[in-house]
Structure 1
Amino acid sequence: MSEKEVLKQADRESQLTHLPHWRYMLGSLRTAFKCSSSAVALELFVEIGALAQEANHHPDVDWRYDTLFVTLVSHDVGGVSLRDTQLAGKISDLAQEHGAQANLNLARTVEIAIDTDDREQIADTWRAALGYKEQADGSLTDPYGRGPAIWFQNTETPNANRFHLDISVPHSHHVDILDGLKEAGARLNYADAPSFTVATDPQGNRLCICTEAGRTD
């Protein structure tokens, strides 16, 4: 298994059994580490940066007060590789040394989904407006990882409300989120669960809670 090739699903899942702080979501490894203070979070941030320089492999790290959100993916090969799983393990070791706790309930990502029966007719408008790049699956993503991705949901019968959010969460934590939605009055459609569960709010607006379970590369 080469360090510079995308891990097959079985190999990736095998690697993740040794990485309890991480989850695979939307083609990358993700986690969030909560520290005892902003100062500790900054120290951990700096040490992750040094580790990345040493490995010549650089994660995306978002520092928010006492919490670091970390994303790992090998952009040059288009997915998660051994470089990512190896660096993830080292980052987890650093986090433990600093007393940081992984909070996977915070490891959520958001895509804006647009129902359309003609993706090609509208995709360039959104790409030009946002400065995004087109991916192999036809989605548009922010090259700097700041804004939510745009996903075009191909359908012959677009919903009257063409926009909805796809919210990806770790499968290990999705039940609590669905329970919270039910308590908030949302209607849930489990037809495609656990890959995604469609939630409709009391006014008819939809969103999807997506997980890595039930999906294949």
Structure 2
Amino acid sequence: MQALRFLNPERVSLRHRRRFFRRSYCAAGPNQVWHADGYDKLKPFGIAISGCIDGYSRRLMWLSSGSTNNYPAVIARYYLQCVSLRMFQCSLREDHTDDFAGPLSHMYGTSTANQRIESWWSIFRKQRTQFWMDLFSDLRDRHYFDGTHEHKCLVRYVFLGIFQKELDEHRELWNNHTIRPVRQSLCPSGKPETMYHLPHRFVYSTCTVIFIKC
């Protein structure tokens, strides 16, 4: 660093001006924004994961596994299953004419802007998927798995039901664990399930508009 300051002080000064400033995440209440994303660490072994988390409460809305998480129709099915279970969306937004209808009813963004689900994936790997990654890697090292389509289908046939059961258990545990308060956060702390269903306890209210960030 001393050499860089001596050789190119102007560029070093410009870099310092663009230094990172920590920002705080804020959501008005449950259902204002859902963060959806795909988890691809197990894709080489034939299992693709899709997850969605509520930005305010950090409640996992769905955590599902299948053969793909790339096709919009697959994600739409997860979304419709979720809202049908919750029974809080009266209609889809394609044919409406207000300011939040059609393409404006959802947002696309970079992974850095999709911070809720992106940061959760790192927790998910430590607590769950690292075991499965090690297991499948061991099968590959022992030449029981060669990455072909047939072997990926076999992995899904043998493990997908067990794996989805683990995802369901993990989602239940996460939604009922206690999130500790963080000084930099503007969102409340507590159990995601409680914050989602009883936002008035935290001086927030349930929102009527849902966004999904992918």
The structure where strand makes up a greater share of residues is 1
Larger helix fraction of residues? 2
TM-score normalised by L of structure 2: 0.23
Higher relative contact order (CA 8 A, sep 6+): 2
Which structure: larger Rg?
A: 2
Q: TM-score, normalised by structure 1?
A: 0.23
